[in-house]
């Protein structure tokens, strides 16, 4: 008898857990977010017009980056100057209501100075986590974190 009560309680608890999960993102949002990463990998900032709202907020912004979608576009080309073979591969894409979460691997070979760090011609591969918030079919905010410290070590920035 106690076993039956435990199983019933577990099923009720499990059901309650999933009743608070937000509705899934629009499948077109999940598909569209791939354009963001294609723009980065293929050095095609014009693709950002299809996915980002004009007043998109990038959090945190890059040093010297102007606001909005158009403020980010120069950084796409800039990354390809520093890393001509830059690639961004989506490892996981998770939809969560009005947000799409992406875990990616960013890789390339440093060919030009990256901030204060001159090129030593070394490759890197780092992880990035991005949370993209959608409204009316466009990304309105992106929160991101990348392991650039790990990338700098791989590129030999701290070698003597």
146 forms bridges with which residues in the sheet? Answer: 128
Q: Is the pLDDT of residue 81 over 60?
A: yes
Q: Which domains does the chain have, with CATH numbers?
A: 23-154 (3.10.450.50)
Q: Which tokens sit at 99? A: 């947000």
Contacts of 134 (CB under 8 A, 6+ apart): 25, 26, 29, 98, 99, 100, 140
User: Per-residue pLDDT tens for 83-117?
Assistant: 999 999 999 999 998 999 999 999 999 999 999 99
Contacts of 77 (CB under 8 A, 6+ apart): 43, 45
HSE (side-chain half, CA atoms, 13 Å) at 66: 6
94 forms bridges with which residues in the sheet? Answer: 101
148 forms bridges with which residues in the sheet? Answer: none
Instruction: Confirm if 47 and 32 have CB atoms less than 8 A apart.
Output: no
Give me the residue label for tokens 């569209």.
32
Q: Which tokens sit at 79? A: 């990354």
Q: Is the pLDDT of residue 58 over 70?
A: yes
Q: For residue 26, name the pLDDT band (cuts at 50, 70, 90).
A: low
């Amino acid at each position: 008898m106690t076993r039956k009560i435990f199983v019933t309680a577990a099923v009720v608890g499990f059901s309650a857990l999933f009743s608070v999960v937000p509705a899934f993102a629009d499948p077109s949002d999940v598909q569209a977010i791939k354009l963001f990463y294609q723009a980065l990998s293929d050095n095609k900032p014009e693709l950002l017009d299809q996915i980002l709202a004009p007043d998109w907020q990038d959090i945190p912004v890059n040093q010297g980056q102007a606001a909005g979608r158009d403020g980010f576009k120069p950084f796409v080309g800039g990354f390809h100057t520093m890393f001509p073979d830059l690639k961004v591969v989506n490892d996981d894409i998770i939809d969560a209501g009005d947000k799409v979460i992406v875990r990616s691997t960013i890789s390339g070979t440093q060919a030009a100075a990256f901030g204060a760090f001159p090129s030593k011609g070394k490759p890197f591969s780092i992880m990035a986590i991005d949370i993209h918030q959608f409204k009316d079919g466009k990304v309105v905010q992106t929160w991101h974190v990348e392991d650039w410290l790990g990338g700098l070590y791989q590129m030999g920035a701290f070698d003597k």
